[in-house]
């Protein structure tokens, strides 16, 4: 497909387990973002990759959260030792290169439930 693809769409796991969430951005998009949306709240910025630059990790809530990106392709968000407060929808977005601001295109998210 032509859009941002995220997998899995749903993930249920026990507290304390590690989880890995995947994002395939739109081909040619150099910027990739991860957000979290808790129930009834807005989107919370987590991390941002732009080309080969060092990622902006300023939104990661704790050292249990990490993310990697292979070149300008797939990204994985890893949450270690999950806690119940990690339950949320995790959204990935990508945007194309260009001068000035470029709108971000979102995937449908991964709904993570920690039991």
Partner 1 sequence: DQQVKQNSPSLSVQEGRISILNCDYTNSMFDYFLWYKKYPAEGPTFLISISSIKDKNEDGRFTVFLNKSAKHLSLHIVPSQPGDSAVYFCAACLYNTDKLIFGTGTRLQVFP
* Exposure b/e, 53-76, CB count within 10 A at least 16 = b: eebeeeebeeeebebebeebeebe
What is the dihedral sign for C-alpha 19, 85, 89, 54? Answer: negative
Which position has the token pair 């081909």? 27
- How far apart (Å, rounded) are the C-alpha atoms in residues 63 and 44? 16
Q: Work out whether 33 is an interface residue with partner 1 (CB under 8 A).
A: yes
Q: Which stretch binds partner 1 (CB under 8 A): 13-21, 55-63, 64-72, 78-86?
A: 55-63
Q: Work out whether 34 is an interface residue with partner 1 (CB under 8 A).
A: no
Among 56, 76, 80, 96, binds partner 1 (CB under 8 A): 56
Q: Work out whether 93 is an interface residue with partner 1 (CB under 8 A).
A: yes
Q: Which residues bind partner 1 (CB under 8 A)?
A: 4, 31, 33, 35, 40-45, 48, 50, 56, 58-59, 91, 93, 95, 101-109
């Amino acid at each position: 497909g032509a859009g941002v693809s995220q997998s899995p769409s749903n993930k249920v796991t026990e507290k304390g387990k590690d989880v890995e969430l995947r994002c395939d951005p739109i081909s040619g998009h150099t910027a990739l973002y991860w957000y979290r949306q808790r129930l009834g709240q807005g989107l919370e910025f987590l991390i941002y990759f732009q080309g080969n630059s060092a990622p902006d990790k300023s939104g990661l809530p704790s050292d249990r959260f990490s993310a990697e990106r292979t070149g300008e392709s797939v990204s994985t968000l890893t949450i270690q030792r999950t806690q119940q407060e990690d339950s949320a929808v995790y959204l990935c977005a990508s945007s194309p290169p260009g001068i000035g601001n470029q709108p971000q295109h979102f995937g449908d998210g991964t709904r993570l439930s920690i039991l």
